[in-house]
Amino acid sequence: MRPRQWTKNVFVFAGIIFARKLTDVPSLLLSVAAFCLFCLLSSSVYIINDLLDAEQDRQHPTKKERPIASGRLSRRTAIAAAMVLAAIGIGLAFSVNIAFAMVSITYFVLNLLYTYSLKHLVILDVLTIAIFFVLRAVAGAEAIAVPISHWLLICTVLLALFIALSKRRHELVLLENNASSHRASLTEYTPYLLDQMIAVVTASTLMAYILYTVDARTVAEVGSTRLLYTVPCVIYGILRYLYLVHQKGEGGDPDRIVVSDRPFIINMLVWAMIAAAIVYWH
């Protein structure tokens, strides 16, 4: 079920945070429910993915320790768990509202398409990952029926692309000559090509976030132009991540970086405190 990767679902809270409704208890409860349901759906997909990739995972230096690949978990049990998690997640999504349920179903179906075919197609693989993050943000906004900034969605897409491309680079460097046997799309990438893509996405992400902070709609919603003060934290966070990818050989497991790299964690907390102070107590 990969509970450590549930951290990706925090994007569900983007809508309530920037709509300034974090202190509204009914909205907060709906957002928490949306987060939990996305955790169930994503876990169902992770199990299905591990079922399909068991053979390839056995050739990976770290993924070979996953329960299904290592044989610790039977395929029958895994299939049953995936079906139960998906049924509960989609079924309860309708109790939130129809719009949220439709986004949840779209997220689940697209994940299945990614698992079966899209992850083997160069460029489309990382673009699909980026769309997953957008769907999380949209779902969170639909859960509490608030609009979400187009700039915020653009920032989400670019940030997700940055992380996905960094992960592909790590896999390519780590697996070297065995890369093609693990994932077909890796044969179409080279470290140089990925570095070029990462450079483009990095610059675009920073510019999109800066434009988001000064956008007229953002200023009107937040009631302040001071959100621009959070930009140094975003710059540091991205550069720190690049440092970990290139100098420390990280990037293959973004969720581990988020919860284990102390400077990265401190930077995120500083960003959160500054943003909260500006959005809620300016």
Asked if residues 136 and 153 have their Cβ atoms less than 8 Å apart, the reply is no
Q: What is the pLDDT of residue 135?
A: 95
267's CB contacts (< 8 A; 6+ apart) are: 233, 236, 237, 240
pLDDT score of 176: 65
Q: How much is the pLDDT for 62?
A: 76
Q: Residue 88: count other Cβ atoms within 10 Å of its Cβ.
A: 14
Determine contact, residues 51/112, Cβ cutoff 8 Å. no
pLDDT at 64: 81
The maximal CA–CA distance of the chain, rounded, in angstroms, is 55
DSSP letter assigned to residue 102: H
Which pair of structure tokens corresponds to residue 179?
């890369």
The structure's pTM equals 0.86
| Burial group, residue 86, by CB count within 10 angstroms (0-12, 13-18, 19+) | buried
Alpha-helical segments (H) within 176-190: 179-182
CA distance 282 to 277: 6
What's the confidence (pLDDT) of residue 66? 85
Report the SS3 class of residue 123: coil
Give the per-residue pLDDT at 136.
95
The Cα 204–Cα 133 span in angstroms is: 17
Instruction: Specify the pLDDT at position 132.
Output: 94
pLDDT for 182 equals 57
Q: What is the mean pLDDT of each run of 10 residues along the chain (282 residues)?
A: 88 88 91 96 93 81 82 90 95 95 96 90 92 94 90 91 89 68 73 92 94 89 87 95 85 74 93 89 70
